Amino acid sequence: MAKLSTSRQKALLRKYALNVKFFMMLVSITVIVYALPKQAKFGYEYEKGRIWNQKDLISPYNFAILKTNQEIEADQKTALATITPIYQRNDDVGNQLIEGFKNDLEIKWHTAGINDRFKAKYLQTGEDILKYVYNVGVFKPNAKYQQKGINYPITVLDKNVATEKNTSDLFTREKAIAYCDDAISKVPGLDKAFLLNLMQDRVQANLIYDAKLTARLEQEVLDNLSITRGMVQKGDIIIAKGSVINDEAYQKLASYKKAFEDNARINGNHALVLLGQFLLVGIAITLLMIFLYLFRRDIYDDNRLVSLILLVITAMLATLSLALKMQLPNLYYIPYCIVPIIIRILFDTRLALNIHLLVVLIAGFFVPNSFEFVFYEITAGMVSIYSIKNLIRREQFLISALIITFTYFVAFLGISLIREGSLTTIDWTYFLPFAVSVLLTLLAYPLIYAFEKVFAITSDITLIELTNTNAPLLREMAFSAPGTFQHSLQVANLAENAIFAIGGNALLVRAGALYHDIGKMENPLFFIENQISGFNPHDKLPYEESAQIIIRHVSRGIEMARKANLPEIVIDFIRTHHGNTRVDYFYQSFLKNFPEKFINENIFRYPGPIPFSKEGGVLMLADSVEAASRSLKEPDEESIGILVDRIVKYKLDQNQLKDSNITLKDIETIKEIFKRMLMSIYHVRIDY
């Protein structure tokens, strides 16, 4: 009954886990579809210089041909040239300044030392000259309109009456002062210096540039410009099959696409567009789940990992949708390569490539020039995955960024040459978004750290940190159990080389090997590799107790590892490196000395479980082989070969490797590597 209850409980857990998985998929699909722009998709891809290989494209309705950006810019430049800057005449300025001149003359006259009978002459001369200056007009030049020369035409508004003038006919302040100087010189009997000093302080602009009115007129002209040139009538051939897409054909296609999207936005059925998007995104997410089920069942069965993958996909596509809605100047600013980098480092290459392809394919339905977009991003994503195949140094991120940038550049150059057919016409500023995208890709580094902490995942970066022999636990082991530390280093070397040869995570197995015996730090002298004085504490203990002390190093290692916050994937090596084998030395000793006594064999047996990964199985073999090799009195090629064969056969006979996914071919490769390395360690000469 208990067994039935337990199996039923497991079935319920599997059922609810599956329901949670479906719910997460539905949420992810819904969020992505909700975020995507709701518009019909134009059904044709086109590029300048390519051959139109589809059937003749017939216009289903009338539409206007849009002008190119260059044509619009030329029209705008021509239209703006017809607008002259507006200057407002302010007579109050001139009148106030003339009155100021009169007041200055009255105040300073008595200090000038000039006969009073000439005062009226000074006053009249200065007033007449200033009236003439302000009647002609004084303005301040505007550099914006001096592109073709110092002088330029303007419109002067005087009491809402417009007069066209040229600045060459007007005074600047400097020209006005020079005129005053010359005019005073023509009047005899005056102190020119005294009068000119009074007048130049009262020369200011009375023609004021009206920036607002000028800008409004310019905007009105621009708003009235037509952005189209000509029409395509219903039934006309937009482009014939086999034609080259030249500038004219390209503009017709672009105009037809715009007309199609506008028409679909107004008349299209939004519910059907929504349904189509739901189906497309649903297919992509379902294919991802099928891939996980068939090829990465360990991830598929872990809803925590599935939720992380769906979160990354949803976040990237939501970012793309936000950029489309905000009308970002260039969609290539978005760091698409961040997704494959994160997935590659947290999981593996196949999954990273699969997810990147799905993300790019979904995005390709909604971005302009989707063929170009897909080519750019698939190639860059593949390069980003390949460039960090084995992440063992932090600078690989920078190297990867440089390689991605180079890939973007080559793709940009190739597509530009196809489109333009000339190097001189390429606008290199269009490559800037790609460079910005690569810089933003470096954000993958902190994001990986955040995902590791939130979702309890162990990346290669964490493993690199753990394999540093200056890590706290390893430093403590090197001090308190130096023999065990040396044993762990040798096991790490053996296991790492073996797993590299048969295929597996070499960094993971190295980390597991370095920490697999940390439990021995509790009682280091009870393990032979740490006994240097010849004293063996097991000599005074019953065999059962000695066996339990040896076995206990596994459970104590797990406790110490969890206290030090080691990842569970590393703790698994501590748990499984002895499987459920017996501590044969003490078991056989007990049977030999107490043949009449009945003993529970489980007292001498490790609790297990047996290794359940290729890396765990290799570590078990490396650990046993390295420990046993220390007992060889005169190691040579024959004795080492016999030892390795015997240890591996024993593990196979005890069914310790049945869950490790290690093939017989792998076993032979592992044995050859162990033999060769042990002979190197013990300096055995090889006979040729």
To the nearest whole number, what is the mean pLDDT of the chain? 85
Q: List, in sequence order, every residue forming a beta bridge with 51; answer none if it has no partner.
A: 244
Residue 117 has a pLDDT of 79
User: How far is it, in rounded angstroms, from Cα 559 to Cα 517?
Assistant: 12
491 and 365 in a common domain: no
126 and 28 in a common domain: no
User: How far is it, in rounded angstroms, from Cα 485 to Cα 479?
Assistant: 9
Confidence band for 228, pLDDT divided at 50, 70 and 90: confident
In a domain, 256, yes or no: no
- Domain end call among 455, 490, 517: 455
User: How far is it, in rounded angstroms, from Cα 304 to Cα 300?
Assistant: 9
List the single range of 255-264, 507-516, 643-652 with lowest mean pLDDT. 255-264
In terms of phi and psi (left: phi > 0; alpha: psi -120 to 50; beta: otherwise), the region of 528 is alpha
User: How far is it, in rounded angstroms, from Cα 530 to Cα 545?
Assistant: 19
In a domain, 446, yes or no: yes
Contact 198, 105 (CB under 8 A): yes
468 and 438 in a common domain: no
Residue 646 has a pLDDT of 92
- Mean pLDDT, rounded, for 242-267: 78
Residue 351 has a pLDDT of 92
482 and 446 in a common domain: no
Q: Which domain holds residue 578?
A: 460-681
392 and 309 in a common domain: yes
- Mean pLDDT, rounded, for 211-232: 89
Residue 409 has a pLDDT of 93
In a domain, 184, yes or no: yes
Structure tokens at 127: 């007033």
In a domain, 392, yes or no: yes
471 and 335 in a common domain: no
CATH code at 486? 1.10.3210
Query: Is the predicted pLDDT of residue 599 greater than 90, yes or no?
Result: no
Structure tokens at 674: 């162990």
Confidence band for 5, pLDDT divided at 50, 70 and 90: very low
Phi, psi of 165 (to 5 degrees): -135, 170
User: How far is it, in rounded angstroms, from Cα 515 to Cα 531?
Assistant: 20
In a domain, 185, yes or no: yes
pLDDT tens column, 522-564: 888 888 887 777 677 887 888 888 888 888 999 999 999 999 9
Q: Is the dihedral of CA 215, 218, 223, 224 positive or negative?
A: positive
pLDDT tens column, 416-455: 887 767 777 788 888 999 999 999 888 888 888 888 888 8
Share of residues in the chain with pLDDT > 90 (%): 32
Residue 1 has a pLDDT of 39
For 78-143, the three-class secondary structure string (H helix, E strand, C coil) is HHHHCCCCEEEECHHHHHHHHHHHHHHHHHHHHHHCCCHHHHHHHHHHHHHHHHHHHHHCEECCCH
pTM recorded for the entire structure: 0.63
- Domain end call among 437, 455, 473: 455
User: How far is it, in rounded angstroms, from Cα 416 to Cα 538?
Assistant: 78
Residue 4 has a pLDDT of 44
In a domain, 97, yes or no: yes
Query: Is the predicted pLDDT of residue 9 greater than 80, yes or no?
Result: no
- Mean pLDDT, rounded, for 477-501: 92
469 and 440 in a common domain: no
Which residue from 614, 622, 549, 611 is spatially nearest to 585, judged by alpha carbons?
549
In a domain, 57, yes or no: no
Residue 147 has a pLDDT of 77
Contact 89, 163 (CB under 8 A): no
Query: Is the predicted pLDDT of residue 398 greater than 50, yes or no?
Result: yes
- Domain end call among 165, 188, 222: 222
Question: When comparing pLDDT for 389 and 332, which is higher?
Answer: 332
213 and 83 in a common domain: yes
Q: What's the total number of domains in the chain? A: 3
498 and 556 in a common domain: yes
478 and 403 in a common domain: no
pLDDT tens column, 279-329: 999 999 999 999 999 998 888 988 889 999 999 999 999 888 888 888 778
In a domain, 449, yes or no: yes
467 and 340 in a common domain: no
81 alpha-carbon distance from chain centroid: 45
Q: 294: Cβ–Cβ under 8 A, 6 or more apart, which residues?
A: none
User: How far is it, in rounded angstroms, from Cα 120 to Cα 645?
Assistant: 129
User: How far is it, in rounded angstroms, from Cα 466 to Cα 515?
Assistant: 9
416 and 488 in a common domain: no
